[in-house]
Structure 1
Amino acid sequence: MNLNITGHHVEVSPAIREYVTNKLDRVIRHFDNVTSVGVILSVEKLKQKAEVTLHVRGKDIYVESDDVDLYAAIDSMVDKLDRQVMKYKQKAFDHNHDALKHQSTEL
């Protein structure tokens, strides 16, 4: 998996990089089909923004979150991403399960 963390108007310190990496590991542990992850951290006046694009086979999952604190924005982004990944995983499982179920009824 390829992880790219960039900052717009904010320096990505080793502490921030480690925090984002640890949070994303929790999400990626659920789902092993992740090919690459792009994270953009930005500051706009009083708003801290965190965005992530997760590339999986057949789909890109994009999530963004903003808050007055960058760490809170990252936490919120990871929670949203976790929900999206679980939803995608469930949809893929249901699709494969329905295909197998349909094949067994045809025989």
Structure 2
Amino acid sequence: MRVEVSGHHIQATEALREAIGRKLERINKHFPNVGRVNAKLKVDKNQHQIELDTLYLGKHLSVKASGKNMYAAIASASPKLHEALSRQKEHNKARRHDNSESNWQKETQETSDVEDTYAEYDEAI
């Protein structure tokens, strides 16, 4: 997973990059399909903020967190991103399950239509 870090009113130091990388290791283990995460660091009036953006299973996900220092904000944002990815993964699983059930229902309906046609044919003979 590639992590791109940018800063607004703050310099993205190597220590911040490493801290973000360490916090996102868990996400990389659990969600190997995440190719890139954009981390935007921002400081406004002594409030440190981070926004993590990624694309997962065709859906754009974004989480924001803030803290008294940037490391606290990073520590807060990582579980939020993990939760958002988990929700998206479960949503896709549920959608696939629903589609397979509806396909099964369609096949069952088609089978019963064919059986009805045979029944009508047998009655005509």
Fold match by TM threshold 0.5: yes
Q: Is the 8 A contact 1:48 1:67 kept in 2?
A: yes
Unaligned 5+ segments in structure 2 are: 108-125
Q: Which structure has more helix as a fraction of its residues? A: 2
SS at match of 1:11: coil
Q: Tell me the equivalent position of 2:95.
A: 95
Greater relative contact order, per chain length (Cα 8 Å cut-off, separation 6+) = 1
Within 5 A, what are the aligned runs for 1:59-70? 59-70=59-70
Shift of 1:52: 0.9
Following the alignment from structure 1 to structure 2, what is the Cα–Cα distance between the partners of residues 48 and 58? 30
Code of the residue aligned with 1:38 in structure 2: it is N
Superposition misfits of 4+ residues, deviation over 6 angstroms: none
Residues 1:58 and 2:84 aligned together: no
- Contact kept, 8 Å, 1:35 with 1:57, in 2: the verdict is no
1:15 shift after superposition? 1.6
The residue number in structure 2 matching 1:9 is 9
Work out the CA distance in 2 between the residues paired with 1:57 and 1:49: 26
Count how many residue pairs are aligned between Structure 1 and Structure 2: 107
More strand by share: 1
Write the deviation string for residues 25-76 of structure 1: whole angstroms up to 9, x where unpaired.
Answer: 2123222332321101111121000111111232110111111121111111
Percentage identity across aligned positions?
30
The farther-off stretch of 78-87 and 33-42 is 33-42
Q: Secondary structure at the match of 1:34?
A: coil
Q: Which has the larger radius of gyration?
A: 2
